[in-house]
Amino acid sequence: MSQFKRSVYERSIYKEPGPIRDSENPFEAMVERFDVAAKILQLDSGFYEYLVTPSRIHITAIPVMMDSGQMRVFQGFRVIHNEILGPSKGGIRYAEDVNLEEVKALAAWMTWKCAVVNVPFGGAKGGVVCNPREMSPGELERLTRRYTANLIDVFGPEKDIPAPDMNTNEQIMAWILDTYSMHAKRTETAVVTGKPILLGGSRGRREATGRGVMTVTLAAMERLGMRPSQCTVAIQGFGNVGSIAAQLLEEQGCRIVAISDVSSGYFNAEGIDVGAAVEYSAAHGNSLEGFPGAEPITNEELITADVDVLVPAAKEDQITRHNAPDIKAKIIAEGANGPTTPRADDILNERGVLVIPDILANAGGVTVSYFEWVQDRQGYFWTTDRVNRRLDRMMRTAFDSVFDVASRHDVSLRIGAYVYAIEKVAGALRLRGIYA
């Protein structure tokens, strides 16, 4: 059974509860999709066990002296799922409801995500059980530095490379960089990605995930004969991914009619002014609550809105067997990790909804993280235009490859992405062999 607490939306000010969950373990949900792809590939049982099992799991206690003078101990995780294609790569999230099963699933998704976009990394993920909104900057810094120190032998530019994720940002990456560098006795900019440009970060990194969502959504529209100027879009989640995807899709001619964040959701059939919504959110503590440019709606109304494209860019397990029958979108582009459950996938496939899976749709972030790592190691940095051109090319190539694999095997894009990724990692494993 899932160890998640109540969903983000159930903890929000929404009057109605969030989507009814399918109560699935997130790692088991990943394995269920893996199983289908493994059967298509006729994967050897030994290879199956090797590829589905996390390589290493680190659980650490993080003592922090709080501003009150009282010491608190937080729990931290770092899961290294796979390192066959290269050093492991994955973000660190700070959240009250993060748990080991979630981190294991996210680490595995990172393995397949890197393989899908042809990035030479393996998969990893980290998490700390805390509520960063209730912690001061000083407490967050002490938490981050101790977490890094506890995992100092795990991290490394050629071993395991963290990045931002939910509730972590450039500043937290800067603290990780500094802590690691102090222990290494030299500045190691390539040990983290998603850091400030001043410390070796890449231009275009902050926008990368949202930009990748835009690129694959346009590619899907092209395959289905849809014109962006005639398409309506609903976006669940208005953080870094959702807001940027909204802005970029709007620039391409799409009409954004519904948006939401943890506080509230809004609908305007004539189209929401995304720029005004971004400015409003920034001016109100990164919250859309009270946004005057649209009518309030619930999360469930947004997910089932009569639109052409739905972008779930919030959290896991938002599209379930309970609401999937009512979804009207022709395309779902998963900006979040694991927003659709296996039971919902079955329903959406039967109804002919084209789901662009998370391991493809939101891979723009790790792609530009790879660019950042390359730039740090070379000591030579690219322009924003160069970053964006290379990202667009890699995302479009990945979409076309996955679409072709899915068509060849007559499966969904999600299973096509798993087949494409697993075949690549398994092929590398065959070539490398097993050291004994």
Phi–psi pair at 259, nearest 5 degrees:
-140, 160
Per-residue confidence at 374, pLDDT binned at 50, 70, 90?
Answer: very high
- State the burial class of residue 156 (Cβ atoms within 10 Å of its Cβ: 0-12, 13-18, 19+): middle
Mean pLDDT of the 388-393 span: 97
- State the burial class of residue 181 (Cβ atoms within 10 Å of its Cβ: 0-12, 13-18, 19+): middle
Rounded to whole angstroms, how far apart are CA atoms 193 and 165?
11
Domain boundaries, the chain: 54-189, 208-361
pLDDT in tens, 100-153: 999 999 999 999 999 999 999 999 999 999 999 999 999 999 999 999 999 999
Percent of the chain with pLDDT over 70: 94
Rounded to whole angstroms, how far apart are CA atoms 74 and 320?
31
Residue written as token pair 């066959």: 84
Tokens of 424: 């690549």
The DSSP output letter for 282 is: H
Please state whether beta strands 88-95 and 122-129 pair in parallel, antiparallel, or not at all (unpaired).
parallel
Per-residue pLDDT, 263: 87
Q: Name the pTM for this structure.
A: 0.90
Residues tagged active-site: 125
Are the C-beta atoms of 354 and 220 separated by less than 8 Å? Answer: yes
- The DSSP code sequence of 47-98 is HHHHHHS-SEEEEEEEEEE-TTS-EEEEEEEEEEEE-SSSSEEEEEEEETT-
- Closest to 297 measured CA to CA, from 284, 306, 285, 286: 306
Specify whether domain 208-361 bears CATH 3.40.50.720: yes
Rounded to whole angstroms, how far apart are CA atoms 309 and 221?
9
HSE, CB side, 13 Å, CA atoms: give it for residue 238.
Answer: 31
Per-residue pLDDT, 436: 75
pLDDT in tens, 164-179: 998 999 999 999 999 9
Rounded to whole angstroms, how far apart are CA atoms 294 and 371?
38
Do the domains 54-189 and 208-361 sit in the same CATH topology, yes or no?
A: yes
Q: How many CB atoms lie within 10 A of CB 112?
A: 28
Q: What is the mean pLDDT of the chain?
A: 93
pLDDT in tens, 193-242: 999 999 999 999 999 999 999 999 999 999 999 999 999 999 999 999 99
- State the burial class of residue 70 (Cβ atoms within 10 Å of its Cβ: 0-12, 13-18, 19+): exposed
Mean pLDDT of the 308-312 span: 98
Fold of 54-189: Rossmann fold (3.40.50)
Q: In sequence order, what are the residues at sequence separation of 6 or more whose Cβ sits closer than 8 angstroms to the Cβ of residue 310?
A: 233, 234, 235, 236, 303, 327, 329, 331, 332, 333
Question: Which residues, listed in sequence order, are joined to residue 296 by a DSSP beta bridge?
Answer: 266
Per-residue confidence at 15, pLDDT binned at 50, 70, 90?
Answer: very low
Rounded to whole angstroms, how far apart are CA atoms 375 and 164?
18
Q: Fill in the amino acid letter for 410.
A: D
Which H or E run includes 142? Answer: helix 137-150
Rounded to whole angstroms, how far apart are CA atoms 336 and 356?
11
